[in-house]
Amino acid sequence: MTIFDAFYLILPLFLIIFLGWLLFRIKVANEQWIKVLNEFAFYVGLPLLSFMNLYTLDLQAFGNAVLVSNSIFMIAAIALTVALTFLLRLSRASGSVVILCTLFGNIAYMGYPVNEMVFGKDGLSVAVIVCSISTFFFFTFAIAAAQYRAGGNPNLRDVLRHIAKIPLLWAVVIGAIMGYFRIPLPDFVIKPLNMLASASSVVVLLALGAFMATLSLRRQLGQIVLIAVLKLAMLPLMFWIISLAFDMDKLQFSVSMLQASMPVGVSAFTIADNMGLDREVAASSVFATTLLSVLTLPLFVALLT
């Protein structure tokens, strides 16, 4: 597949993002829209999409390579990013926001629909697995590293409390257990769950587009460039190197690579704000890396297919 073929393959997803941006710009959508769409995605759509994919996945035949490789990747990515912030002598405030944005990828809002568009339902199932691993490591070790770099003391109780409030992780656990033990659900339950899950991809892309309309590149370009290089180039390269030690099939490798190459996640802005970090840098990083992903994602798709 050429890069142009790959671009046209995922172009519909970017058109939906553009539609969300346009609706906000012409004042059809507003801040309340973004809030409602994001809450539907966070509490309903993405958890149900994750649950249904794991519920129908043959986990017993899945293998451990993708689990172990992505876990090692997240640990290595955290270590590399923290080390770079010290080597580059970034201030506490700058270093912590670089850690946060570099390690928080848009692996659900963009990762799910992109992998489903490119690799089908099987690709989406692998993307759910990778997302659950990355989400766990981000909200534990990565958040703790960002807090430490900012000069604070990570609080284990707060970390665990935050993890317990993430519906996607609960959906992954419940879906994996029910799928592994083949616990049946009646059709009248499965059908509405599938309907809600199938709506999530469009909803999250519209929400992303509308959110993009509120952002701009404002300042601290040096930090934003560093985050973009790490997020869109260095981390995919790191995963490729790590993957050489594992016997993953092509689908698992390709989906993991695409997930590693996703832009900064939209919630980085909110998390940075809650942690007292520079939310303007976080917002600008989301904006810049998402725009750049219009070029980088087709390149990775072309290479992987």
Confidence band of 21 (pLDDT split at 50, 70, 90):
very high
User: Is 250:183 a contact under the CB 8 Å cutoff?
Assistant: no
Percent of the chain whose pLDDT exceeds 90: 32
Top-confidence range, 51-60, 78-87, 261-270: 78-87
Confidence band of 60 (pLDDT split at 50, 70, 90):
low
Quote the pLDDT of residue 155. Answer: 67
User: Number of helices and strands (H, E) in the chain?
Assistant: 15, 0
The residue-averaged pLDDT of 138-165 equals 76
pLDDT tens-place string over residues 214-224: 877 666 788 88
pTM score: 0.85
Would you say residue 199 has pLDDT above 90? no
**3-304 under CATH 1.20.210.10, yes or no:** no
Q: Which residues touch 144 (CB under 8 Å, ≥6 apart)?
A: 154, 159
Cα gap 30→44, rounded to integer Å = 21
Domains of the chain: which residue ranges? 3-304
User: Is 83:61 a contact under the CB 8 Å cutoff?
Assistant: no
Quote the pLDDT of residue 152. Answer: 66
Would you say residue 305 has pLDDT above 70? yes
Average pLDDT, the chain: 86
Would you say residue 90 has pLDDT above 90? no
Would you say residue 275 has pLDDT above 90? no
